[in-house]
Structure formats: C-alpha cells, structure tokens
Amino acid sequence: MRKLVFVGAGSMAEALISGIIANGVLESPNIWVTNKSDEERLTDLSKRYGVTTSYDKDALFEGADAVILAMKPKDAKAGLPLVLPYLSEQTLVISVLAGLSTGTIESMSDKKLAIVRAMPNTSAAIGKSATGLALNQNVTSKQAELAKMLFETVGLAAFVDENQLDAVTGLSGSGPAYIYYLVEAMENSAAEIGLDRELAKELIVQTLIGAAEMLTKSDKPPRQLRHEVTSPGGTTEAGIRVLENHKVQQSLIHCIKEATAQSRKLGRMISSDIHLKAHTS
C-alpha cells in the first residue's frame, strides 16, 4: 500500500493511525487525514504522528489505495456526497460509520466500489479492539487482507456477514461499556464493605485481567471455569445465588439483544434519511 486516506479525524481515526504507524504498515507521510473543518485537530495529528493533512480533495484522493470513512455518522449525510465522486472503483473504501450499509454507500456513489464495513470498539485506543469486518461483492481477496491487516494493528479483526454486524455492535462494539458498568458496581460495593477505593480498583482490574487470561488460555468453557471457583456452601456460591435471584445473566442477554436491535433501527434510520436526501436534492 502506498497511500491511505482518513476522512474524519476523531479518536477512532487516531487509534488506527497510531496502530498502523507503530506496526510499520505504512510510513507517516503516506497517511493523509482530513476532516470537516477542525484545522487545529489536523495540526495536532500532524505534529504528533507526522501524517499529511489537507482539505484539497484532488490532492487527498489522488493515488489512494484505501480510504477510511471515519467521520461521525451524523456528518455522513452531508459529507459522503463530497467524498464519493473522488473515489475510483480501484480504491478500497473502509467505513467505520455505524449503521450505514455497503449497499447505501455504493448506491450513493453510482459506482461499483469495493467497500468494507468495520465495527471496532473503543479499546482500539490501546490496541485491544475486537473488530468485525464485512465485505461487499466488489472487494478482492487482496483488499480483504489489507483491511484485516489495518484493523489488526489495533487488536483482533474477524470477517462476518454484513447482516451480522448489528450483532457484533451489540456484543463487542458496545461491550466495553457493559464491563465498565460491572466495574462501577464492584467499586460501589467495595466502598460499602469498607475497602479503600484505590486498592479496590487495583483488585478489580487485576481480577478482570486474570479472568480474561484464563478464558484466553484455557480450553474450558466459562461455565466450567465458574463452577471450579464455586465451592458448595462457599462465598462464591453465596454471591452467585444473589446474581441468579436477580436474573443478572438473563438481563445481560436482554441487554445485548436490545443493543443489537437498536443498531438495526439506527441503521435503517440513517439509510432512509440518506436516501430521502438523495431523492429530494
């Protein structure tokens, strides 16, 4: 790859820029970045990473092997029509715009664009994202490998069917927030049982790290690992009993299903809004 363009310069774009440079995938000057109008943000990225920034669309997109659409979803309706005319059918388009289908993007362009939809999560900022990737029919095997390589610089990346991306959003896209919610509860309980807040945080974080490592390295399913910690009549059993009485597991399942459904709903709204604008323009 000779040239990569980011349209949008928010936290996800920065995480990818940092990961791509740190992993030696592309040299800094060959990464081009633009945004709607925040020149200060572009200057900051240029100073921090050595990337090239510009508002000149001819210069931006000329010779680009891949373009990552990383603007905010609310800016897509106005921003995409300004970008798509500059993209050729040889350019790989990677969209991190939640809810916007490959079909909608392609229909807006009137070209047979090679499009990859990506659903990373905020842990990309520390190189620990879990990213789902979906391809349209125009993506070549080489382009698919390129997209996967880019997102592997910020964590795990796996291919899924596009109709599964809403489920990926509900499970791992929103997943960090569920964990943080759990940690909030653990911190609040620590205060109530008399533990120092800083000590409690260290214990909680290390517990999460240890549990994650066990899930990664053990062949045992989580149910078995849980039972191995839960001695009959012991402290863990007492705690688990409370969780089961409050139907915490069922609530979490419902939580993920609801987030998945909301992702589908928002996707339909965004696509409908964009199509409506296109027909009235």
Residue with tokens 């936290």, as numbered in its chain: 11
Question: Does 233 have pLDDT greater than 60?
Answer: yes
With 0-12 / 13-18 / 19 or more C-beta atoms within 10 angstroms meaning exposed / middle / buried, residue 192 is: exposed
What per-residue string of b and e applies to 125-150 under the rule 16 or more CB within 10 Å gives b? beeebbbbbbbbebbeeebbebbbeb
Question: Does 49 have pLDDT greater than 70?
Answer: yes
Distance CA 83, CA 6 (A): 11
One-letter amino acid at 237 equals: E
Name the residue among 4, 15, 264, 5 with its Cα closest to residue 129. 15
pLDDT value at residue 107: 87
Q: How many other CB atoms are found less than 10 A from the CB of residue 232?
A: 5
Mean pLDDT of the chain: 94
Question: Does 277 have pLDDT greater than 60?
Answer: no
Question: Does 267 have pLDDT greater than 90?
Answer: no
pLDDT value at residue 259: 94
pLDDT value at residue 166: 93
Proportion of the chain above pLDDT 70, given as a percent? 97
Question: Does 160 have pLDDT greater than 80?
Answer: yes
So where are the chain's domains?
4-165, 174-246
Task: With residue 34 as reference, give the H or E element that holds it.
Answer: strand 31-34
Task: Say what the alpha-carbon torsion angle 194, 195, 201, 205 is, to the nearest 10 degrees.
Answer: -100
Going across the sheet that includes 52-53, the strands are: 52-53, 31-34, 4-7, 66-69, 92-95, 114-119, 129-135, 155-159
Distance CA 211, CA 188 (A): 20
pLDDT value at residue 32: 98
Proportion of the chain above pLDDT 90, given as a percent? 85
pLDDT tens for each residue of 87-142: 999 999 999 988 888 998 998 888 999 999 999 999 999 999 999 999 999 999 99
Distance CA 26, CA 115 (A): 21
pLDDT value at residue 77: 81
Question: Does 276 have pLDDT greater than 90?
Answer: no
Q: By mean pLDDT, which of 29-33, 66-70, 86-90, 140-144 is the weakest?
A: 86-90
pLDDT value at residue 280: 54
Q: What is the CATH number of domain 174-246?
A: 1.10.3730.10
Question: Does 231 have pLDDT greater than 90?
Answer: yes
pLDDT value at residue 279: 53
Region 69-88: mean pLDDT is 89
pLDDT value at residue 275: 60
pLDDT tens for each residue of 189-226: 999 999 999 999 999 999 999 999 999 999 999 999 99
Question: Does 2 have pLDDT greater than 80?
Answer: yes
Distance CA 104, CA 76 (A): 11
pTM of the complete model: 0.89
Name the residue among 267, 247, 79 with its Cα closest to residue 168. 267
Distance CA 81, CA 11 (A): 23
Confidence band of 14 (pLDDT split at 50, 70, 90): very high
Q: What is the CATH number of domain 4-165?
A: 3.40.50.720
pLDDT value at residue 256: 97
Question: Does 270 have pLDDT greater than 80?
Answer: no
